[in-house]
Amino acid sequence: MAFFISLILTYMNIGFSPDFLQKWLRGFGVGFLVGLPVALVTFPIVKKVVEQLTS
């Protein structure tokens, strides 16, 4: 998901410039490095809350 979001946002910000690929991959890398730890921390918490609400 970070792959496509970074693609779209990079295109919206700079268009298809000569350095588009470099900026897109850098944006994807940053997004992935931020998103993965956030997901690993928040998903178990959200799962517990949902289980408590539905049981």
Task: Give the tens place of pLDDT for each residue, 25-49.
Answer: 999 999 999 999 999 999 999 999 9
pTM of the model: 0.69
Task: Give the tens place of pLDDT for each residue, 6-17.
Answer: 999 999 999 999
Structural domain containing residue 17? 2-54
Q: What is the pLDDT of residue 55?
A: 87
Number of compact structural domains in the chain: 1
- For residues 21 and 6, the answer to whether their CB atoms sit within 8 Å is no
